[in-house]
Every structure is written in structure tokens, then in C-alpha cells.
Structure 1
Amino acid sequence: MKKLLKLVCDCSASELAEFAVVVPLLMTVILGIYSFGRAYNIYSTVTRAAQDGARMAVTPVCAYCSYTCGGVSSQFPCDADVVDAVTSALAASHLDPMRTSQLVPTTSGVACPAPAPAKTCGAASGANGTTIYICRNVLINPSTTPQSCGTIVSFQYSYQFLPILFAPRISINIPAQSQMRMEY
């Protein structure tokens, strides 16, 4: 009986049991911190990529000549050039352009008044699978004065968190939207 009582009261393996409980929880917290840090890094990268695309869309190729895109003459770059600017920014941070999809912007998209060119909005895709939404010649601040015409570039990037113990694989779409004022 004394031997059984001594075995029950013995605490020599309690540290090992505590370690077995704490280590998975600690690893889960560490992987969670890493995943959220990576998600924030991707958020800042896709925001910068949208800004680069919008900047490319409003920068005239030539002030005195026209640039032909798909049979239409304009002084601004083609949608393919805007997609290439977004793709280059994503590639600089080693992000897969195939994980982008279009995101219709939250702004109203009111067309600019004359003599501005007609409003054009739609999805644009690159050769490598990048898909973004470009809306040209829209009022980027319709409720304030003076009103400005510009371009809106938006897309979303699919990010999958690292698998964490006790949780399923979680995937989120990180949105990016940028607008730039056009100067005629």
C-alpha cells in the first residue's frame, strides 16, 4: 500500500507532461504571429502594386502623339501596360500574380464631365494570369469641390495562412485599391 501511495504522489514526470502541453500551444502562437506578419507584408505589397498600376494608367505615354491600344488611339498606356506594372510590383516581393482577381471599386465611378474622354471600366488580364480592375476617366472625389478626374485600379490577392494546430486552413482575400488624378 505504501508503494502505491508513493507512486501516486510522485511528481517526477510532471515537468514532462507540462512541456507536452505547452509546446504545441507555443508553436501555434509563433506560427500565428508569423502568418499575420506575412499577411500584413502582402497587404502593403498589393497596395503598392495598385498604386504603381494607377500611376502607370494616368501617366501619358506621349503628350503630342497618340498611342494605339487595341485599335483605339489615346495618349495613355494600354491596360496591358498597367497590368505589367502591377505584375512587376508583385514579382518584386515574390508574390504569385496568378492569385490576383478583380475587385470592383467601392467608389461610385461617375464619369468625368466633357471634354474628358468617355469612362471605361473593366477587368484587365495579363499574360501571366494577373487580373485587375481598371476604371478610367471617373470622378475620384464626386462629393467634394473641385472635382478631379482620374483612374481607379483595384484587385484582391488570395492569401492562405500557415496551417495551425487545432484550426483549419484559412484563406483570405486581401483587397487593394488605388486612385490617381489625371492631368490633361
Structure 2
Amino acid sequence: MEKGKMHNIISAAIFAAIMAVLSQFTFPIGPVPITLQSFVCALAGGVLGRKWGAISIGVWLLLGLLGIPILTMGKAGAGIFFSPVGGYYLGFVVMAWVSGFRLAEKGHFLRQVSSAVLGLICCYALGTVWFMGYFHFGLGKEMPLWTALTLTVFPFVAFDLIKVILGVICGTRIRQSLNQAGYYPTMEH
């Protein structure tokens, strides 16, 4: 196996571990807590690029699916994906992938933040559609879009934007340090 690919695999494993640890830190504000997961998604995409950033979050999800209690607040198992918030978990993979588009390239800070915010919007969209579908198909009840957004998006937007910006700042610094050290994760597309 070539050295660059091995570095990417190890880096993805490290970011999966970071996501596992930071998923345990929650700040309750209601039925759905604030977590550091959007921070890690922006960070993973920014440091590893779109492919390996998404893979790292996918590995975290796969380990949780297999029963290792590393998802939010120590949750695990397939049941989480059949819950009202299952779409947000899948949205984290999309967020890391989209965050890695511009972050993987040298670019202006605002472009990097824009990619990460677009990734967050994609995560919100997938999670909200899943949430509404859960009520419609799973419970036979209607969940209007405005109600779904009020429950699952609006309370988190300000915090998530702060976390995404911090993820971009940290990701930029980490990439600069890796570059100065002579190690720069390859950006496979």
C-alpha cells in the first residue's frame, strides 16, 4: 500500500475517534442536545478533504451501527437510524463531504466557511426530510415543515454556525501545521 493512502486511512481513523469522543459532550437545551458533531464534520472535511473527511465520519457511523456506544451520548445500534433523527446522522457524512470541497484546496477563508455552511445546510435538509418522513411513514402523523424546522433546526443554527466557523479555523491551522511539517493528506477526489 502506498504511503499517501496509508496516511489517509490513519487520518480518517483519527477523525472517527475524535468524532466518537466529542459526540459524548452534549449540552441539553431541550429534547435534542447541542453537540460538537458539526464542528468535527467541518474539521474533518477541512483537514482531510471531501473523500476522506466523509469516510472518517462514515467509519464513526459504521462503528456505532455495529453496536459500539460512540454515537451521541453513548448511543449505538441500528435503531438510531430508524429514529426521528436518523437523517441527521447520515447528514453528517454529507456535511463532511461538502465541507471538504473548498477546504481541500488552498483558498480564501470565506470560501472555506461557505463550503462548510453549505455542508451544514445539506445536513439540515436531509435530517429535516427524514424527521418529517419518520412522522408521516412511521407514525402515520403529519409533520409540517415549519414545525419540523422549529424543533430540529432553528434552536441549533446559531450554535452550529459558531461551531462550523471554529471547525474551519482549526482545520486551516491544522493543515498549515501539517504542510510545514512535510505531511499533507492527499486530496483524492
Q: If the TM-score is normalised by the length of the shorter chain, which range does it land in? A: 0.3 to 0.5
Higher normalized strand content (fraction of residues): 1
Q: Which has the higher contact order (CA 8 A, sep 6+)?
A: 2
TM-score (normalizing by structure 2): 0.32
TM-score (normalizing by structure 1): 0.32
Higher normalized helix content (fraction of residues): 2
